[in-house]
Structure 1
Amino acid sequence: MFEEGQLYSPVTRDGDGTVEVHLGEDHPGFHDAVYRAPRNAIAEVAMAWAPGRPLPDIAYTEAEDGIWRVVSRELHDRHERYACREYLEVKAALGLPEDRVPQLREVTVGLEALSGFTYRPAPGLVELREFYEALGEGVFHSTQYVRHPSEPLYTPEPDVIHEVIGHGNMLASPRLAALKREAGRAARRVETAEALQAIADVFWFTMEFGVLRESGDLRAYGAGILSSYGEIEEFRQMEIRPLDFAEMATIDYDITRYQPVLYCAESLDHLEDAVGGFFAGADDDTPARLRATAGALK
């Protein structure tokens, strides 16, 4: 089971109004005051924003733009080799800059024209139900900070590179965006935490770490793979299983390592039919049905 909170550093506001991002001791920026100060400031900007206001711009430094350039350069050719056709086509249509970090307002302008999605700034972790219900309304909560410069090709938590290169390009596809909307609508229907978690787990193994077949080749469409320099090189060596929602909702795994098991759709059409159908039919009885399915297969 996936616990999304494990991926984010908590953000708090003290009595004097000071906003602090609480990095774990194993975070590469834990002892780096130069990194932590702007990280706190970016979180404060997100906390101060309110719906209806213009999306806030971040004054990214040359170093942060440099990290974006490094990651974009390393991922560019790998996307051509390993990403699914749909992702490549909509990535070109969205046309995000590769030489600097784009502002969320820029991403939103492009997405609104292609799929109707908009971005919303988040200081860190967004409560599970709030995050998924927003997807149902065509809204994606996104962080705006950049990963630590000591590890430009890796981040222990979702940063703007993951949120935009991974999810932003996906959301430019009306077909993939529709699946995320369907997951959000499912979250709005269910009342139990167990059912919501089942939706989140299937989302994790599809929208985050999903793969599919194209002309017999294994291709990635999940944002977690397509925004990770390391994972995109390794995903074809993992154990590839057919789509199995009962298994997705119950399997345990270590989020600090590359995913050892991936679930594969036979095509984009199959992905839409199967995963879209799962989200469309999800309700509070879904966990019980999945357990029954898993038990019948043993």
Structure 2
Amino acid sequence: MTTIARRGKSSLDLLHSMIYFAPEAADEFAALGLDRGLMSYLAGRSAPMGAVGAGVVSATFYNFNPAKVAAEIPRAWSIAAPSDVIAARFRAVDGALRRLLGAEVTSDLVATTAELAQAATQDLRPDGKPLYAAHADLAWPEEPHLRLWHAVSLLREFRGDAHITALQRAGLSGLQALVLHVATGEGFTAEAARRTRVWSEDEWAAGVSELRQRGLVDADGAITEQGAALREEVETETDAMSAGPWESLSGDQLDVLLGNGSQLSRALLAAGALPPGLFAKR
């Protein structure tokens, strides 16, 4: 099931994460009075937890600069109530998926994928998974494309909470984990990671230095064999801790869900769901 867990992430993740780059989200949050950019991201993703403080957001998001989080949270909640932010986010999802998928948004493909993705979440336990638990408390939307987005969001946050546990066991701080991921060449570019997670150049350089002292990156900041082995260990442990959703589906159901997810993700990519220049590989 650990292999399936990683395939699930690869096949489905974009169906959720497209919202972080959608202009519909920026517009909806701005209409509430939230600042575009970091404040909107932090408020949009943390709103299901309620009007929590900066410490909770930093802890559950993990790789954002806590000082910059504290500049936006809890100020965001003085501008817009969490319930209004949640509603705005779902409106943004609706608009973004309708734009990106076009007529496909009301297709049997989306409806079937939504049904299977929701089924995968039904027996999950919230133990030790605070961000997942908050999103799992939300009511299920009625429309299939919104149910699909919500289900994939639950799967993503469930894995994300497990990932933080694995990173802590590996002794990696949020910044160190981000720097090491960038060094693999499989995620954000270094500039995009530093900018979106709001770390200064000096702070980033300190993170690189800490990893170099552990032998995880070399003098040029490239990942070493030891670093790659630790990354794989973290991912394998994350897979094991997030295998629950995939164990609740039959083999045939898994094949359909992951196949459909890949097809829809390709459609999103073709429609421009991700801006250029953010990722080293795509």
Common fold: TM-score over 0.5:
no
Give the number of the structure whose residues are more often helix, by fraction.
2
Could you state the TM-score of these two structures normalised by the residue count of structure 1? 0.29
Could you state the TM-score of these two structures normalised by the residue count of structure 2? 0.30
The structure whose RCO (Cα within 8 Å, separation 6+) is larger is 2
